[in-house]
Amino acid sequence: MKYAIAIILVAVTAGLMVVGLFVTAQAGGTIGIAKGSALHTAKASTPDQALNNLLADVQRRNWDRAFANVVSTGGITEPAFIQDWIGSNGSVRSFSSLEGFEVRPLHETNDEAQMRVHLHFSSPVGPIEDVRDFHLVREGDLWKAVWPKVEIPSVPAQVIPVTYLRWDLVTGSAGDEWGAKNVDSPHVRIISMNAVDSAQGSVVMGEVTNEDTVPAFVTVNATLVDGAGNAIDEESSFDKIAHVLLPKQVTPYRIDFPNLSLKNVKNVHMDVKATLVPASADPVIGVMNQKIETDSQGKSVLHGDLLNQSGETVNIPHVIVSFYDNSGKVVWVSDGYVDRALLPQSTEAFAVEIPKSLAPSIHNFHVVVNQYSLNNS
């Protein structure tokens, strides 16, 4: 009797191990959407299994085994493959980890397969979703992913003179007379505001400009008020705004009120706060080749390229876009983080999604690039 508990534990453990093996086999054999898991099939006899193995190894950062599941016809090396996944230069990707993935087959023959994978990354700026198409080929009994050569921007050694303005703040000494050291806060103004209902709740958005001649750190808050004059909810623009505005610069802002309908809202009180802040006019980032296109999933997406025209690495570029209808009204504000660092004098592509219902009414757009550099933080 005294061995009963031990025997039961051993039996249950053995049972779970058998079930585990069974579940692994089931996962490998799933047709259609396969959810990402950390389970690894010893032999990838199907494209699903091969891709699941590859992504599971990437999740575990088991790079040698992951790279063994790759056909490097494009000449990719293992370090480049690793850098493709873990990022570099303090980019968002270098602070992210692959949380999960969903694999969908697109096309499959006996020797080749095309798979689409939804990748879910966790990052300091929130969850990041990515969609990648993988081409797999069969080599003997095994399926492997074809990995194209990753173009890692390399910057030649050079000297780039920076002569743009920088603003510093000097705080007056404590002994100064009352009223002698007042420096006013920057004058900023909300130039447009629009409140709409969306699938996730209410959204208040628009644009704000710095009308002053000094930089401003700007935050926009909105309070929804009901018919009786009571505040229903109060939110701020958080990261959906370029907080540091140089003189005459315009930024979009968006304030989300999740799970709240505008039906009960009578008024929206806007409050914009601005404080003096040290700032630099460098780096200048150009936004090139901006175009609204429909992607492979049928979604309307604004694509473009960021061009860093300065000599400073922008570790985390952040793109905020205001979309206008044909009357010039802001109808939506989207944002997105670029997961690679923007090196000096180099470009990085970005894409920002547009809600399907709004895509036909969009007539124009304005892109603002917010930038975070580790050297300046």
Partner 1 sequence: MARLLQFFSILSLGALFCGVCGAQDLHAPSNVTAGEDVALPTSGSGKATFYLAGPGISQKNDVTLGEEIRLSGQDLRYAGDYTAILCSDTCHTATFYVTAAKPASVIFLVHPSRVPVGQNDAVSGVAFPFDQYRNLITVPENVNFQLSAKDASLWPRSIRTQNGVAWFRANSGKSAGPVQAVASLDDLSAKRAVQQVASDPCNLRITGQRTPNGILVQTEPVHDCAGNVVPDGTIVTFTATGPNGKGTVDAPVKQGIARAKIESPGTSVISVASGVVMGNEIRLGAQP
Answer yes or no whether residue 162 interacts with partner 1 by CB under 8 A.
Answer: no
Answer yes or no whether residue 366 interacts with partner 1 by CB under 8 A.
Answer: yes
Q: 293: exposed, middle or buried (C-beta count within 10 Å: 0-12, 13-18, 19+)?
A: exposed
* SS3 state of residue 25: helix
Answer yes or no whether residue 2 interacts with partner 1 by CB under 8 A.
Answer: no
Q: How many whole angstroms separate alpha carbon 291 and alpha carbon 288?
A: 9
Residue placing its CB nearer to partner 1 in the complex, 264 or 275: 275
Instruction: Report DSSP state, residue 327.
Output: T
Q: Which of 163, 173, 230, 375 binds partner 1 (CB under 8 A)?
A: 163
Residue placing its CB nearer to partner 1 in the complex, 61 or 248: 248
Q: How many whole angstroms separate alpha carbon 283 and alpha carbon 7?
A: 68
Find residue 362's DSSP bridge partners.
Answer: none
Cis peptide before 79 (omega within 30 of 0): no
Region from 79-87, 125-133, 175-183, 227-235 binding partner 1, contact rule CB under 8 A: 175-183
Q: How far is the CB of 203 from partner 1 (least distance, A)?
A: 23
Q: How many whole angstroms separate alpha carbon 18 and alpha carbon 37?
A: 18
- Find the farthest-apart pair of alpha carbons in the chain and give their distance in angstroms, rounded: 89
Answer yes or no whether residue 359 interacts with partner 1 by CB under 8 A.
Answer: no
> What angle, rounded to 10 degrees, do the helices at 47-60 and 4-28 form?
120
Answer yes or no whether residue 170 interacts with partner 1 by CB under 8 A.
Answer: no
Residue placing its CB nearer to partner 1 in the complex, 42 or 159: 159
Region from 14-22, 227-235, 263-271, 362-370 binding partner 1, contact rule CB under 8 A: 362-370
Both tokens assigned to 336: 């997105």
Answer yes or no whether residue 168 interacts with partner 1 by CB under 8 A.
Answer: no
Q: How far is the CB of 34 from partner 1 (least distance, A)?
A: 36
Restricting to residues 210-269, name those near partner 1 by CB under 8 A: 210-215, 246-250
Region from 84-92, 117-125, 135-143, 206-214 binding partner 1, contact rule CB under 8 A: 206-214
Task: Centre a 10 Å sphere on the Cβ of residue 276 and count the other Cβ atoms it contains.
Answer: 16
Restricting to residues 273-332, name those near partner 1 by CB under 8 A: 281, 284-291, 303-304, 307, 309
Answer yes or no whether residue 177 interacts with partner 1 by CB under 8 A.
Answer: yes
Residue placing its CB nearer to partner 1 in the complex, 210 or 237: 210
Asked if 267 and 197 touch (Cβ cutoff 8 Å), the reply is no
Instruction: Report DSSP state, residue 351.
Output: E
Asked if 218 and 245 touch (Cβ cutoff 8 Å), the reply is yes
- What does 37-59 look like in DSSP terms, one character per residue? -S---SS--SHHHHHHHHHHHHH
Q: How far is the CB of 364 from partner 1 (least distance, A)?
A: 9
Region from 18-26, 59-67, 174-182, 230-238 binding partner 1, contact rule CB under 8 A: 174-182
Residues in the chain: 377
Return residues touching partner 1 (CB under 8 A). Answer: 163-165, 167, 177-180, 182-184, 191, 209-215, 246-250, 281, 284-291, 303-304, 307, 309, 365-369
